[in-house]
Amino acid sequence: MKCDKEGIGMQEIYLDNAATTRVDPVIAARMVEVMTEQYGNPSSLHRKGLEAERLIAVAEKQLLTALGAKKGKILFTSGGTEANNLALRGTALAKQRRGKRIITTALEHSSVLDTARALGKEGFEVIEIPPDASGRVDTAALLAACNAETILVSVMLANNELGTVQPVAALTKEIRRRSPLAVVHSDAVQAFGKVAFSVEKLGVDLLTVSGHKIHAPKGIGALYLADGVRLLPMLHGGEQQGRLRPGTEPVPAIVALGMAGEIAASSLLENIAAVSALRATLCEEISALLGVVQNSPNEEITPFVLNLSLPGYRSEVLLHFLEQRGIFVSSGSACAKGAKSHVLAAMGKSPAEIDGALRVSFSKYSTLEEVHAFSAALADAMAQLQHR
């Protein structure tokens, strides 16, 4: 295989960045340094421990700054899934004597939806608000569901399948008026580094991010906690992270997440502009292909994700056709492993549109040549594969 100077195969056209991203080589190099030189346990009382503890403090500061938080703290977790579980379950258990209502949306990632549904089986009253046809939450229905017994509202910032951005800041203000007890959480895994936002402006109490969507490794994520927010821990053990998330901190991954957050925030507008241009080209090219349906709207979105459907073709077949040409995209959410999209279904898409859905997702490494290659391969697929 022909390789560029960083050893990455040039034939690979990776357009599945909402599933995961390539680790930034600078971040990977720094992780090796931490693993081999600054390898102390942050809980150790000697100098090596202190050095590791300081690295965590720096990463926390980098993340708080990247999230636009003047105050608050960061709990490092094993990823977005754990942070979402901790946000929902930790809040529900902390507040259960004051109310039982939990409100979320049908658009959420399974780590929110399934946690909420599990809490529903444990005696909480869980309400899932459906989206409208453009893939945004029905805000009137959500606010109508907010009552005095509501203890938690969880609304994602950017949707992983469509890239639609939810009006979290406006919702938070209204939720506070109707449900003064409620903790407001937002899953920002697909928004961090892809949408301009700050936790202060969103007004949320809790916010989830994940490293591997922004060029840090898999297995690291974080939950932002605003000042004064109370959670119960899900794990029990040592004194780490104020006992809210015990366990020896994965310092190299935490350093990576801090760096990735800082890099993403500092190049945010530049990356949004570059990726928006790629997305616009892709939209134009696919609009010339008869029969392709664009599922993602063009406004109030992150440009990093574009969802489309080829009704009459099966996404799995398309996926493998593209793969043979070195092009990697997905049929929807990577976590769903080919299961039909609950998001497209909730939007009222037809079975043929759901069966033939593809998600193209960009990163700062994506190029115009890759977009052209994808569009050309899609046209080939439509010409060569059998329409059902």
The residues carrying an active-site annotation are 335
Q: Which residue is nearest to ligand PLP, using beta carbons?
A: 80
- Opening angle at CA 199, ends 195 and 201, nearest 5: 85
- End-to-end Cα, the chain, rounded Å: 36
Distance CA 160, CA 19 (A): 8
Q: How many amino acids of this chain bind ligand PLP (CB under 6 A)? A: 16
Beta-bridge partners for 327: 13
| For ligand PLP, the closer CB: 21 or 366 | 21
**Which residues have C-beta within 8 Å of that of residue 144, sequence separation ≥ 6?**
none
Q: Rule CB under 6 A: say whether 105 interacts with ligand PLP.
A: no
Q: How far apart are CA 172 and CA 346, in angstroms?
A: 23
Residues 69, 224 contacting (CB under 8 angstroms):
yes
Give the side-chain half-sphere CA count within 13 A for 214. Answer: 33
Q: Which of residues 206-245 bind ligand PLP (CB under 6 A)?
A: 210, 212, 221
Determine if 258 is a binding residue for ligand PLP (CB under 6 A).
no
- Smaller CB separation from ligand PLP, 209 or 373: 209
The dihedrals phi and psi of 301, each to the nearest 5 degrees, come to -140, 165
CB closer to ligand PLP out of 208 and 366 = 208
Minimum gap (Å) between residue 164 Cβ and ligand PLP: 11
Shortest distance, position 213 Cβ to ligand PLP, whole Å:
7
Residue 109 burial (CB count, 10 A): 24
| Residue in the structure block whose two tokens are 């080919």 | 338
Nearer to ligand PLP, 77 or 179 (CB): 77
CA distance 156 to 29: 32
Helix (H, G, I), strand (E, B) or coil at 74: strand
- The least distance separating ligand PLP from the CB of residue 123, rounded to whole angstroms, comes to 25
Among 17, 85, 160, 240, binds ligand PLP (CB under 6 A): 160
Task: Determine, following the binding rule CB under 6 A, whether residue 303 of this chain makes contact with ligand PLP.
Answer: no
Q: Does 79 bind ligand PLP (CB under 6 A)?
A: yes
> Cβ of residue 259: shortest distance to ligand PLP, in angstroms?
17
335 binding ligand PLP? (CB under 6 A): yes
Whole-angstrom distance, CA of residue 8 vs CA of residue 3: 5
Instruction: Please tell me whether residue 81 binds ligand PLP under the rule CB under 6 A.
Output: yes
User: Would you count residue 17 as binding ligand PLP (CB under 6 A)?
Assistant: no
CA distance linking residue 16 with residue 24, whole number of Å = 16
User: Binding to ligand PLP by residue 136, rule CB under 6 A?
Assistant: no
H-run or E-run covering 209: strand 206-210
> Does 187 sit near ligand PLP (CB under 6 A)?
yes
Q: How far is the CB of 54 from ligand PLP (least distance, A)?
A: 25
Binding flag, residue 271, ligand PLP (CB under 6 A): no
Residues that bind ligand PLP (CB under 6 A): 79-81, 84, 109, 111, 156, 160, 187, 189-190, 210, 212, 221, 334-335
